[in-house]
Amino acid sequence: MLNIDTGNTAFMLLCTSLVMLMTPGLAFFYGGLVGRKNVLAIMIQSFVSMGWTTVLWWAFGFSLCFSGDMKSGTDFFGILGNFNYAFLNGITLDTPSTLNPTIPMLVFVAYQMMFAIITPALITGAFTNRVTFKAYMLFLTGWLVLVYFPFVHMVWGGGIMASWGVLDFAGGIVVHNIAGIAALASVLYVGKRKFADAGPHSIPLVALGTGLLWFGWYGFNAGSEFRVDSVTAVAFVNTDLAASFAAIAWLAMDWATTKKPKFLGLLTGAVAGLATITPAAGYVSPMSACLIGIIAGVGCFYAVALKNKLGWDDALDVWGVHGVGGFIGIILCGVFATTLFNPAGTDGLLRGGLRFFMVQVGAVLLSSIWAFVFTYGMLWLIDRVTVVKVDEAGEQEGLDSSLHGEAAYLEGV
């Protein structure tokens, strides 16, 4: 009989709800950043993931991520799990979670499902205004199977990266790095927009999205401890510290560059800080979280500046914020991790953990290459089945009307 800890279970249900709220938050964030003619097209790409990813997760996604492991030889080469949990087969009311046996497995299924929903949705900001919906649905399916599910298993499901000793508290590799690098591959494959947006059509909508993301991120990071203890509290506090320091750092950089304090810069910096602290949230001290936030704000600011200089049309800076943020976060976890703040973790470079630091660097380099190659190749294959990029007339009309036959804002109203 499952011995349920009601406090831990209630906390994880709350965290699951918080992470679910992040996907609508992302839709608002991205929706505000695009022009008026493309608001619904970018928002539906987030919301449809809530539906379709859930279907795939129930059918086989959870099983490929969390059934079998490399140690016992019951998975596929340490890269993917097996199909033992397909359609949630064998998971009953009494099945305990693998990471915390006082929590029902069904809660773990739901919590991890929310991560699977938002990760591919992050990529959509890169190719806004120029990808057909049919191609996006194929992309969503293929990317989950070829990129997201393997990295969940490799890092969190007892796969090959776990055997190396890679630590990723809440998704620096598994969520942000692979999504951001996939965004870059998408930008380079799809190419530039022929009709660039004049600018964000609603910064208040971006602010609403940022608020929902920041709020939900407490469930994203603190919930990744899978129980209520002191490490949960550290992850919660570190999340807020890094976001705050990064927001102010980006604001300062923007102010120094443009001579004006930009609200959009403050909001973007906060998201960069949240993405960067994610892999380290439960492994580092609050002081380190402050430093990570500053490094995130400055580093991601310069990454976006580099993108602009190179002329990459990463419309909503997914690579600069999530790809670079996740990359920096994994490496800084390898630098600042300390068993003083998480006895179950390990010590980073500053405390003599050279091997752990090298493992983190190697893992994030591998994840970056994998995500880029598989994403680019998958888009090429999808283009053989159905056209990926909208035609010039559809782009000029706006995707809301040309693809979906709807309008976010009625003319004259």
Q: To the nearest whole percent, how much of the chain has pLDDT over 90?
A: 96
Identity (one letter) of the amino acid at 249?
A
In a domain, 409, yes or no: no
In a domain, 412, yes or no: no
Q: Output the DSSP codes for 118-145.
A: HHHHHHTTTSTTSB-HHHHHHHHHHHII
Identity (one letter) of the amino acid at 78?
G
Going by pLDDT thresholds of 50, 70 and 90, the confidence category of residue 195 is: confident
| Nearest-angstrom CA–CA distance, 168 and 330 | 7
Q: Residue 412: its pLDDT value, please? A: 62
Q: Residue 323: its pLDDT value, please? A: 97
Q: For residue 66, what are the CA distances in angstroms to 49, 97, 146, 174, 313? A: 20, 10, 15, 14, 36
Going by pLDDT thresholds of 50, 70 and 90, the confidence category of residue 198 is: confident
In a domain, 413, yes or no: no
Identity (one letter) of the amino acid at 38?
N
Q: For residue 382, what are the CA distances in angstroms to 131, 140, 375, 377, 388? A: 12, 11, 10, 9, 7
Per-residue pLDDT tens digits for 350-375? 999 999 999 999 999 999 999 999 99
In a domain, 41, yes or no: yes
Q: For residue 377, what are the CA distances in angstroms to 27, 47, 371? A: 26, 25, 10
| Nearest-angstrom CA–CA distance, 413 and 137 | 32
What is the average pLDDT score of the chain? 96
DSSP H/E element including 29: helix 6-33
Task: Name which of 66, 95, 92 is nearest 3 in CA terms.
Answer: 95
In a domain, 1, yes or no: no
Mean pLDDT (whole number) for 118-138: 96
Res. 413: pLDDT tops 60: no
Going by pLDDT thresholds of 50, 70 and 90, the confidence category of residue 335 is: very high
Contact residues for 303 (Cβ-Cβ < 8 A; gap 6+)? 319, 320, 321, 324
Res. 411: pLDDT tops 90: no
Number of neighbouring beta carbons within 10 Å of residue 347:
17
| Nearest-angstrom CA–CA distance, 300 and 325 | 6
Q: Per the structure, how many domains does the chain have?
A: 1
102 lies in which domain range? 6-404
Res. 63: pLDDT tops 80: yes
| Phi, psi dihedrals of residue 52, rounded to the nearest 5° | -70, -40
Per-residue pLDDT tens digits for 239-262? 999 999 999 999 999 999 999 999
In a domain, 144, yes or no: yes
In a domain, 369, yes or no: yes
| Nearest-angstrom CA–CA distance, 244 and 269 | 8
Per-residue pLDDT tens digits for 274-333? 999 999 999 999 999 999 999 999 999 999 999 999 999 998 999 999 999 999 999 999
Burial 298-314 (b: 16+ CB within 10 A, else e): bbbbebbeebeeeebbb
Q: Residue 27: its pLDDT value, please? A: 98
Q: Residue 197: its pLDDT value, please? A: 82
Going by pLDDT thresholds of 50, 70 and 90, the confidence category of residue 1 is: low
Mean pLDDT (whole number) for 5-31: 98
Q: Residue 328: its pLDDT value, please? A: 98
10 Å CB burial of residue 94 (0-12, 13-18, 19+) is exposed
CATH number at residue 328: 1.10.3430.10
- The pair of three-digit structure tokens given for residue 64, joined into one six-digit string: 């490929």
How open is the CA angle 48-52-57, to the nearest 5 degrees? 140
In a domain, 411, yes or no: no
* Contact call for residues 111 and 223 (beta carbons, < 8 A): yes
Q: To the nearest whole percent, how much of the chain has pLDDT over 70?
A: 99
* Contact call for residues 321 and 335 (beta carbons, < 8 A): no
pTM of the model: 0.96
Q: Which residues pair with 389 in a beta bridge?
A: 131
Mean pLDDT (whole number) for 397-413: 88
Per-residue pLDDT tens digits for 129-147? 999 999 999 999 999 999 9
